[in-house]
Structure 1
């Protein structure tokens, strides 16, 4: 039965990024797909929406091929959402003075009703029929075009996810809270910009089986940008982190982390944009209970090349990664804290195709291959559970939507994700855990949005 090992190796994205907890719907993860014409009320614009989808999930509990019959389900998903913001440039009348603040907030709730495709699985599925995902977020940028300003941001995400056990008490339901603030310095009319900030994350597991993994992550962060050409900028990003587990008896190690990257971002031509960043990262884990520690000390970075199907002659360098009709390919190397060993390193290649035609038809195809290198992991008595090992992950998602009007979208989502190979992690001195799985999802839905 995959519990702790499975948790550590399947929640990779979710523990690395809060935005991933929105999980499935592209219009929740990306407001460019979500928002329509909206409503204006005073100096705010509102964008409500609601979506309903019916889908098939081939392996809801992410069972390995050698773990018996997989449990497939039909899923009914209903997702209301709301976003609000200060007026965008299209709605600000007559130009005038730049705004003194920019504000944006959003919320969503996604309810899943599950139906087993085989009656013998009714009990297992019924016991886990509680899948409610939810999120709230906000950003506030004060004096965004002045030499000095400050920003605040925050989000809360609730993610419901089963383990491969049918017991509800072992589900991976979790909550993540993030709050941050920063001071911004923009001399010289915005050609140069520097930010110094602080961020805190809290990760909370709702089930008692994983309560010892609850943790805080504090970050001191800085980033800078120098626009040395009209559409190209040098950029820097650095942070110092502190990982702290709330359970004093937990054998997971607290840590300090350092990450620093420098690079360039901007348009090469009217059609091509480039992002290239490279740097170094290191971790400093603190031994607890006599369990050995292993630290990451190596390169990190990202490289991406993007082609705009329509030319972008006026795109600013900080906008060079946005656009609705694009083809992009890239590579990322990073590392993050792990719930199995100390850390894992991720090497990921990815590609994306996004096309929006005449405001009526949207298609987005994205996928990637990741190779994860886990640090050695140990039992509580300090004996080695497994040496450093690799894990291959693959994923691909197709989202297509037809909009017969400005407020209605009819969409489909096809998704495949897998942990490849037969990576096995010992659960004790006799049993092993196979981390392999394959999963297919197919959805058909309709949504109303403004």
Structure 2
């Protein structure tokens, strides 16, 4: 049960944030033309910028929570609403250079379930976080090196088979070697990636009435995996603004728990990318995906994407893609996705953006899922170091398989303030 003092502090924080005129996310503004950050701290030839986010969010499907004062073996089998606070201290380090360029961005995120809407939720408050490191060596030369690492802990997992109420710990390290013979008209980039992802439920108890893996605390670990990818990307710019693009990749995935067989999936696509007019850019690729493991599935791969430049500060993007990927418990899945994105910058300070996507996911076997997502909201730069905004997210997921975690609708509204020194 939430104590009165805790509830009062939570309401005070919510009220304080609601009075701020909109909260935004600095990391999402890099493509808008807005300059983010203060002077920072000088580090060599670069700058270190401490950042701080404070966000209040209403989430209609925040997780599975135990009833107040109930320490029994089960929790509700329905996703419950909650008011959630996000407190995110972070940093951004940029060290530019002609030979070596380094970019590091990250934050720690304390997710506090306030107990205002579902009193039993407070015990599931937890830490999340993100860190991105990119190092480029000799990026303007004929032979370069690119090193990267992406770390993320979040309740929005990368596995399409798992629904809400699950935490994901993901890390991937990458190495690439861009080759640019002949002045850069031809670019060939071999890359290798190694990643892992581990899952755990937000609630440590078994949801009543749940008999499927996506909400069973003992079952989600069967989706844990190790991933090794090796790929080769090629680009030939045969016209000043148009290129032939080729992409080949092998993915080897094994699962640390459960009985899912290892996967060895090949992707091979080729097509064109470039401008068809001063305002329209198009990417069109076609290819094939094949699993050489025990699942032995295959699919036609495709991507068709168009971007229209409405003005120097406004763009609209529409596209369709089809992918084939490995997944725990089912072996493989095919994802047919249609998406629409729009963004505009008004007055050099106000950014309005909207993103919508529809996925039809076909798992090996009989399971079929549909996922719809909508994300809209404004962001405003009050000062160089202060950005605010708000947003609304809607998600609708349905499956022919049972389970509240993969059959639900989700409404989220948030306000956020970002300060960057």
TM range (shorter): 0.7 to 0.9
- Relative to structure 1, is the Cα distance of residues 46 and 38 closer, same or farther in structure 2, using a 3 angstrom cutoff? farther
**Structure 2: 5+ residue stretches without partners:** 1-22, 66-75, 158-163, 202-216
**In the alignment, is residue 283 of structure 1 matched against residue 291 of structure 2?**
yes
* Between 325-334 and 103-112, the greater mean CA deviation after superposition: 103-112
Question: Does the 8 Å contact 1:423/1:434 carry over to 2?
Answer: no
Q: Secondary structure at the match of 1:285?
A: coil
- SS of 1:226's equivalent in the other structure is strand
- Structure 2 distance, partners of 1:179, 1:50, is 26
Cα separation, partners in 2 of 1:47 and 1:35, compared to 1, 3 Å: farther
**Is the alpha carbon distance of 1:157 and 1:232 closer, same or farther for their aligned partners in structure 2, counting shifts above 3 Å?**
same
Match of 1:303 in 2: 304
Comparing both chains, which one has the higher relative contact order based on Cα–Cα distances under 8 Å and sequence gaps of 6 or more? 2
Structure-1-length-normalised TM-score: 0.74
**Cα separation, partners in 2 of 1:37 and 1:305, compared to 1, 3 Å:** same
Compared with structure 1, are the counterparts of its residues 215 and 141 closer, same or farther at alpha carbon in structure 2 (3 Å cutoff)?
A: same
Q: Distance in 2 between matches of 1:266 and 1:283?
A: 31
Q: Which residue of 1 aligns with 2:71?
A: none
Note the C-alpha offset of 1:183. 2.0
Q: SS state of the match for residue 145, structure 1?
A: coil
Alignment gaps of 5+ in structure 1: 1-23, 89-98, 163-169, 287-293, 312-323, 377-387, 426-431
* Structure 1 residue 353, shift from structure 2 partner: 0.7
2:192–2:228 contact (8 Å) kept in structure 1 = yes
The equivalences for 1:357-396 within 5 A come to 357-376=346-365, 388-396=366-374
Q: Distance in 1 between matches of 2:29 and 2:261?
A: 34
Name the residue aligned to 1:197: 191
Aligned 1:212-231 pairs, distance under 5 A: 212-231=222-241
SS at match of 2:329: coil
CA distance in 1, matches of 2:128, 2:109: 5
Task: Figure out how many residues of one structure are paired with residues of the other and give that number.
Answer: 364
Residues 116-168 of structure 1, C-alpha deviation per residue, up to 9 Å, x if partnerless?
344xx312x123122x2211121112111111222211121112469xxxxxx
Equivalent-residue separation in structure 2 for 1:70 and 1:216 (angstroms): 29
SS at match of 1:141: strand
Output the CA distance in 2 between the equivalents of 1:109 and 1:335: 32
Whether contact under 8 Å (2:225, 2:253) holds in the other structure is yes
Match of 1:402 among 354, 377, 380: 380
What is the CA deviation profile of residues 299-341 of structure 1, one whole-angstrom value per residue up to 9, with x for unaligned ones?
Answer: 1121111111225xxxxxxxxxxxx621110011102112231
Measure, in 2, the Cα distance between the counterparts of 1:161 and 1:127. Answer: 19
Offset of residue 68 of structure 1: 7.4
- Secondary structure of residue in 1 paired with 2:183: helix
SS of alignment partner, residue 59 of structure 1: strand
Q: Structure 2 matches for 1:302-381, cutoff 5 A?
A: 302-310=303-311, 325-376=314-365
Structure 1 residue aligned with 2:87, among 49, 72, 78? 78
Question: What is the TM-score normalised by the length of structure 2?
Answer: 0.79
**Aligned counterpart, 1:122:** 119
| CA distance, structure 2, for counterparts of residue 184 and residue 402 of structure 1 | 37
Q: Kindly indicate whether residue 157 of structure 2 is the aligned counterpart of residue 157 of structure 1.
A: no
The whole-number CA distance in structure 2 between the counterparts of 1:35 and 1:335 is 38
Q: For 2:374 and 2:325, how far apart are their aligned partners in 1?
A: 22
SS in 2 for 1:148: coil
Q: Secondary structure at the match of 1:189?
A: helix
8 Å CA contact 2:222, 2:256 repeated in 1: yes
Is the Cα contact below 8 Å between 1:225 and 1:235 reproduced in 2? Answer: yes
Partner secondary structure for residue 332 of structure 1? strand
Contact 1:38 1:45 in 2 (8 A): no
Partner Cα separation in structure 2 for residue 190 and residue 161 of structure 1: 39
Sort the Cα spacing of 1:332 and 1:189 in 2 relative to 1 into closer, same or farther, 3 A. same
Match of 1:172 among 166, 190, 199: 166
What SS class does the counterpart of residue 101 from structure 2 fall into? strand
Q: What whole-Å deviation, never above 9, does each CA across 1:255-290 have from its counterpart, x for those lacking one?
A: 11100111222222221111111111111233xxxx
Report the more deviating stretch, 32-41 or 435-444.
32-41
Asked if the contact 1:28–1:108 (Cα under 8 Å) also holds between the matched residues in 2, the reply is no
Conserved 8 A contact 1:352-1:367: yes
- Post-superposition CA distance 1:145-199 (Å, at most 9, x none): 111222211121112469xxxxxxx962231111111222111111111011211
1:45–1:87 Cα contact (<8 Å) kept? no
Contact 2:63–2:80 (Cα < 8 Å) also in 1: yes
Contact 2:283 2:306 in 1 (8 A): yes
Question: Residues 269 and 62 from structure 1, CA distance in 2 versus in 1: closer, same or farther, beyond 3 angstroms?
Answer: farther
Report the CA distance shift for 1:449/1:309 in structure 2 as closer, same or farther (over 3 A): farther
